[in-house]
């Protein structure tokens, strides 16, 4: 099983689980996928672009307005290149932004532009996850055809017990493999 010639655009949002994304990248790269990370402004508080760049062996995309060397507009070229867009961890905030079609950063613009499969892997506090607003937003995204690998139950970073922990890396990677083969 390999993912040679497959382009995975990986969005990393501002949650504690961002450190687990490193393992997702390592496993996808091992399978020979080309992994390009989009790190949100909040996500950069949790993990460095240097780490993501080193593991993915690619430049990390952070800024929609950076100067365009190749005349490729970043969010359009990433969206077109994607065989799949994975957001892990996906915050309540990006889920809300996508549910209303916001396009206020590179990640949301890329998702709105892409015709590729969109996989959302939420991670958040269990009370946040069960809030009606978050549930309704996830329902909206499911109606748009987006897929979800839902969080697990267990001890959360805040010390609470409940659902909200990012799904197992193996489950996220398995979904990507199944989708791209
Ligand atoms: C220490 C800390 C941990 C956070 N963890 C989460 C989280 O696990 N899930 C979540 O949805 N938001 C979490 N947030 C809030 C997000 O960072 C915030 O909603 C932000 O606007 C998300 O932006 P983004 O979706 O563009 O990355 C956390 C904030 C802080 C300060």
> Of the residues 93, 125, 155, 158, which should be mutated to test ligand 1's pocket, given the most ligand atoms within 8 Å of the CB?
93
Residue minimizing CA distance to atom 30 of ligand 1: 15
How far is Cα 85 from Cα 109, in angstroms, rounded to an integer?
12
Between the CA of 11 and the centroid of ligand 1 the distance, in Å, is 14
Kindly indicate the confidence band of residue 148, based on its pLDDT and cuts at 50, 70 and 90. Answer: very high
Q: What is the mean pLDDT of residues 2-21?
A: 97
Q: What is the mean pLDDT of residues 57-70?
A: 82
The answer to whether residue 71 scores a pLDDT higher than 70 is no
How far is Cα 49 from Cα 21, in angstroms, rounded to an integer?
12
Whether the full predicted model's pTM is greater than 0.75, yes or no, is yes
CB 178 within 8 A of CB 88: no
Instruction: Tell which atom from ligand 1 comes closest to the C-alpha of 93.
Output: 25
Between the CA of 57 and the centroid of ligand 1 the distance, in Å, is 26
Residue 38 β-bridge partners = 11, 61
The answer to whether residue 68 scores a pLDDT higher than 60 is no
How far is Cα 1 from Cα 74, in angstroms, rounded to an integer?
30
Q: What is the pLDDT of residues 82-129, one digit of tens each?
A: 999 999 999 999 999 999 999 999 999 999 999 999 999 999 999 999
> Is residue 139 classed as helix, strand or coil in its secondary structure?
helix
DSSP string, 72-132: --HHHHHHHH-SEEEEEEEPHHHHHHHHTT---SHHHHHHHH--SEEEEEE---HHHHTSH
DSSP assigned state of 180: H
Share of the chain above pLDDT 90, in %: 84
Residue bearing the bigger pLDDT, 67 or 128 = 128
The answer to whether residue 64 scores a pLDDT higher than 70 is yes
Catalytic residue numbers? 158
Between the CA of 133 and the centroid of ligand 1 the distance, in Å, is 16
DSSP string, 51-71: HHHHHHTSPPB--TTS--SSS
How far is Cα 11 from Cα 60, in angstroms, rounded to an integer?
10
Q: What is the mean pLDDT of the chain?
A: 94
Between the CA of 16 and the centroid of ligand 1 the distance, in Å, is 8
Q: Which domains does the chain have, with CATH numbers?
A: 7-180 (3.40.50.1950)
At residue 56, the pLDDT reads 98
Kindly indicate the confidence band of residue 157, based on its pLDDT and cuts at 50, 70 and 90. Answer: confident
Residue matched to tokens 């055809």: 145
At residue 163, the pLDDT reads 87
Minimum mean pLDDT among 88-97, 134-143, 160-169: which range?
Answer: 160-169
At residue 70, the pLDDT reads 61
How far is Cα 51 from Cα 87, in angstroms, rounded to an integer?
17
Number of other residues whose CB lies within 10 A of the CB of residue 33: 25
> Of the residues 10, 12, 13, 62, which should be mutated to test ligand 1's pocket, given the most ligand atoms within 8 Å of the CB?
13
């Amino acid at each position: 099983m390999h993912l040679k010639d497959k382009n995975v655009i990986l969005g990393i949002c501002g949650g504690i689980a961002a450190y687990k994304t490193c393992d997702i990248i390592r496993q996808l790269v091992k399978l020979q996928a080309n992994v390009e990370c989009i790190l949100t402004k909040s996500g950069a508080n949790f993990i460095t672009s240097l780490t993501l760049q080193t593991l993915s062996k690619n430049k990390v995309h952070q800024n929609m307005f950076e100067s365009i060397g190749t005349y490729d507009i970043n969010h359009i070229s990433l969206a077109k290149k994607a065989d799949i867009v994975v957001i892990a961890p996906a915050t309540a905030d990006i889920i809300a932004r996508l549910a209303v079609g916001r396009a206020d950063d590179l990640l949301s613009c890329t998702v709105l532009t892409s015709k590729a499969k969109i996989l959302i892997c939420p991670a958040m506090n269990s009370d946040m996850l069960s809030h009606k607003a978050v549930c309704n937003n996830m329902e909206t995204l499911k109606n748009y055809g987006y897929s979800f690998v839902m969080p697990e139950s267990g001890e959360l970073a805040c010390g609470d017990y409940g659902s909200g922990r990012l799904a197992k890396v193996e489950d996220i990677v398995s979904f990507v493999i199944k989708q791209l083969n």
